[in-house]
Structure 1
Amino acid sequence: MSDPWTWHGGGLEAAKRRFGGADWIDLSTGINPHPWPGAATMAFDWQRLPDTQDLARLEAVAAGYFGVDARHVCAVPGTEIGLRLVGALIGGPAQHMAPGYRTHGAMIAGSAAVTWPDMGDRAGHLILANPNNPDGRALAAGAMQDLLERRSGWLLVDEAFADADPASSIAASAGDGRRLVVFRSFGKFFGLAGVRLGFVLAPQAIVAALRERLGAWPLSAAAIAIGTAAYADAGWIAAARQRLGEEAAALDAMLVRRGHRPVGACPLFRLIEVDDAHALFERLARCAILTRPFADQPRWLRLGLPADAVALERLDAALVDG
């Protein structure tokens, strides 16, 4: 199986070159197929540098959304960069939950993989996602608080998929005196991954160190304006959460009818287990449907949320035709 599809979601152009065809359905990522619509109507002055006051307003609006004081919020140009910068700041020893996001194992040199429910050495730092990717496992807020209280090292929590159901989020606990760093992603829930916007919620000392490393103008004016407006759009956010839940239920029902057992608590994607996931990946790709296989888990296939009933019906037909 080629790296473009097993390394991460996406790779649609590579799939077109490999399999041909047109009118592709990209289910390889866990990104909301219904993006926040306001970005399409916004205009930007590309001749001006981003304003520092606008950046501060974005962080204040995002802080209110996360339920944390703005002093503990640092906007970053994508969560990937935030993870790696914090990893370099904190150092080891560390452990990361597996299976999980590849960067979790790379952000601190020498980090050792541990599996759920084994949390490994409580004295070291622990890196995990909640909800997790790719299996969608979600820990309740109480369980996350217990993890924070039991460890003497830092708890580093990637909440990239927490927006769809924030009940399990530990973001509001970020602050001084707590060895907790929370990472939040804008692009997944708001469906605008190309904006490249994320946030690090941490003690003020970590926030200050991040700002020093990011330097002046860490975000584009477009990212600042889009993020500020989207996080303030409470009506769209509530409607999106309801819609995603309903569409995930429809996907689950279809998969069950086709003999699969969908796994995952995050409505943006589901994981299924089959005898040969790579063969199913290729069969769906020949129907112009891109999914996500895994090099180290040959029985796993992850499917993102279809954008509409037509896409769901095409996926249904492709699963039957095999």
Structure 2
Amino acid sequence: MSAPIAHGGGITAAAAAFGGKPEDWLDLSTGINPCPVDLPEIPARAWHRLPDRHLMDEARVAARNHYGSGEILPLPVPGTQSVIQLLPRLVRQGSKVVVTDDRVAVTDNRVAVVSPTYGEYARAFASAGFVVDAVGDIAAIGAEHRLAVVVNPNNPDGRAWPADVLLGLHDRMKAANGFLVVDEAFGDTDPTLSLAARAHELSNLVIFRSFGKFFGLAGLRLGFVIARDDILACFEDWLGPWAVSGPAQSLAASLLRSDVSAIRSRIDERCAGLHGALAAAGLRTAGGTALFSLVADARAGDIYTHLCRHHILVRKFDYAPDWLRFGLAPDPAADRRLGEALQRFER
């Protein structure tokens, strides 16, 4: 089993190492909207009863309209991490198994992940015995790959792939009897990048959408899968009954039906505040999305430690020691707190 990946959000561990109460830290280590939406009323029956089919149906219709997936009703899942771990099963469905001398070998076990990106994709496939090719460009994905993963826009550098490029990749994967997985976890801040509206035409496409990042409700552990019906049926079967709680589905149905323009405006305002704090400190932004900024600086390790001593947590990367990812602060006061801490850094 491969070692766990250190993700953002580890405030408890940071406080244990650098002091202070977790609640007093400023957590900029994730790409989550720091201004969670007001929660709509949740009917008491959603808490009292096992999640019934009508709750899922309502959430799926709301998700279809929000994501623009047309004929496809997106499947609610308990966070996209839950289905990332199921992807090896999807590929196994079409793999050829050869038995020789009482040994079982699975052929066609190579997958491609456009990298660097969210590390759980490579970990899930490597743990399942696949050969994982971390490719820097879509052009490097070939007929030998049973599945390709593209995070669009990408985490942590914000790299974005135009729809026509991804459509071409899908057709190449389909011709080789493979799948294309497009992770649109940060897609709500730029809907023009989404392939959701074309998904019903693309038989070998799987799209993952995150609910909690945009709405600021990551603790809800909710996501959606957009794909053809037989693929969605596989995921639903593998997850088992009642995978998504009734309250989560109720919230999704309400919030996905709401006007989200104010949420986008608030995120844009918070993004501008972060950019201002970074620019005032002389830090160069190397990429990002509306929900985070990636800074490239040779002093990244020292900056990280300095900020921790001021009880501000950002995201560092073991594979890129000159990178730091800064999430959004919740208000102008927090922007100033970050800016003042960065100004105190001894260059």
* Structure-1-length-normalised TM-score: 0.92
Secondary structure of 1:143's match?
A: helix
Cα distance in 1 for partners of 2:273, 2:72 equals 41
Cα distance in 1 for partners of 2:322, 2:344 equals 20
Distance 1:217 1:199, change over 3 A: same
Partner residue of 1:127?
A: 149
Per-residue deviation, residues 139-193 of structure 1 (Å, max 9, x unmatched): 2223322322343331101100101111111122222652110000101001001
Distance 1:251 1:52, change over 3 A: same
Cα distance in 1 for partners of 2:184, 2:28 equals 21
Contact 1:184–1:200 under 8 Å retained in 2: yes
1:187 aligns with 2:212: yes
The alpha-carbon deviation at position 281 of structure 1 amounts to 0.9
Partner residue of 2:188?
A: 163
Secondary structure of 2:252's match?
A: helix
Q: Aligned to 2:323, which of 284, 300, 307? A: 300
Partner residue of 1:111?
A: 132
Distance 1:221 1:55, change over 3 A: same
Question: Greater shift after overlay, 73-82 or 145-154?
Answer: 145-154
Secondary structure of 1:37's match?
A: coil
Contact 2:277–2:338 under 8 Å retained in 1: no
Partner residue of 2:283?
A: 260
Distance 1:159 1:177, change over 3 A: closer
Partner residue of 1:315?
A: 338
Cα distance in 2 for partners of 1:44, 1:194 equals 20
Cα distance in 2 for partners of 1:119, 1:72 equals 32
The alpha-carbon deviation at position 120 of structure 1 amounts to 2.9
Q: Spell out the pairing of 1:1-322 with structure 2 (5 A cutoff).
A: 7-22=6-21, 23-39=24-40, 41-42=41-42, 44-45=44-45, 46-69=47-70, 71-91=72-92, 92-108=109-125, 109-116=130-137, 118-124=139-145, 125-151=147-173, 152=175, 153-175=178-200, 178-234=203-259, 237-322=260-345
The alpha-carbon deviation at position 89 of structure 1 amounts to 1.4
Cα distance in 2 for partners of 1:176, 1:74 equals 17
Contact 1:60–1:70 under 8 Å retained in 2: no
Amino acid at match of 1:229: S
The alpha-carbon deviation at position 253 of structure 1 amounts to 2.9
Cα distance in 1 for partners of 2:58, 2:266 equals 29
The alpha-carbon deviation at position 87 of structure 1 amounts to 3.1
Ranges in structure 1 where 5+ consecutive residues have no aligned partner: none
Cα distance in 2 for partners of 1:32, 1:61 equals 21
Contact 1:82–1:198 under 8 Å retained in 2: no
The alpha-carbon deviation at position 99 of structure 1 amounts to 0.5
Contact 1:74–1:207 under 8 Å retained in 2: yes
Contact 1:181–1:201 under 8 Å retained in 2: yes
Amino acid at match of 1:284: L
Secondary structure of 1:134's match?
A: coil
The alpha-carbon deviation at position 107 of structure 1 amounts to 3.3
CA RMSD of aligned residues (A): 2.0
Cα distance in 2 for partners of 1:250, 1:118 equals 36
Contact 1:96–1:114 under 8 Å retained in 2: yes
Q: Identity of counterpart residues, as a percentage?
A: 39
Cα distance in 2 for partners of 1:43, 1:291 equals 37
Secondary structure of 2:48's match?
A: coil
Higher Cα radius of gyration: 2
Secondary structure of 1:147's match?
A: helix
Contact 2:280–2:339 under 8 Å retained in 1: no
Distance 1:291 1:140, change over 3 A: same
Cα distance in 2 for partners of 1:205, 1:163 equals 26
Ranges in structure 2 where 5+ consecutive residues have no aligned partner: 93-108
Amino acid at match of 2:167: Q
Question: Greater shift after overlay, 78-87 or 8-17?
Answer: 78-87
Question: Greater shift after overlay, 107-116 or 275-284?
Answer: 107-116
